Amino acid sequence: MWLIALYGAAAFLSNPVVTQYLMAQYMTIDNDLRNCDPGSAVFNVISGLPFAGPIGKVGRTTSQVVAKSWYKSTFKTAEESLEYHFKQHGVGKTIEEYSRDAIEFFSKNKDKAQEVILNDDSSGFLIRDPGNPGGYFKIIDGAIKAVSFWYN
């Protein structure tokens, strides 16, 4: 955002690199929508449509939460993994909050992570402390991906 303030909105948006980036983001969202079940909460999240959360909260987010925050593991897609784990452990949160909490938790507690083999036979990490938040995580190309996350 500081680039916009520095160069002005018109100059920023006329930059071919910015245009290419924005088109790539649009294509990513379009592709994500094509691969989601239209009735799912994840579809509503990616499309930007409001959805009712577990206690009537309304949330919005972008495809980046799904695409960059979750690992598919034994599910067909990262979206399916997120939707399943959100239903199991995300009570009182939006999908966006749940995903953000998972990644922030790993970032703050990575020194407690133990290397494990995940259910899809790939390597990952586990942080477990009975009665406290925990989860399974994977790092792909330097990016933290949640496999599962729980609050207690």
DSSP characters over 78-96: HHHHHHHHHHHH-TTS-HH
pLDDT at 141 over 50: yes
What's the pLDDT band for 96 if we cut at 50, 70, 90? confident
Quick one: tokens of 25? 């983001």
Instruction: Provide the residue type at 40 as one letter.
Output: S
Q: Say which range, 22-26, 94-98, 105-109, 121-125, has the weakest mean pLDDT.
A: 22-26
| Cα–Cα distances in angstroms (integers) from residue 83 to residues 36, 99, 124, in the given order | 11, 11, 20
From the number of C-beta atoms within 10 Å of its C-beta (0-12, 13-18, 19+), residue 22 rates as exposed
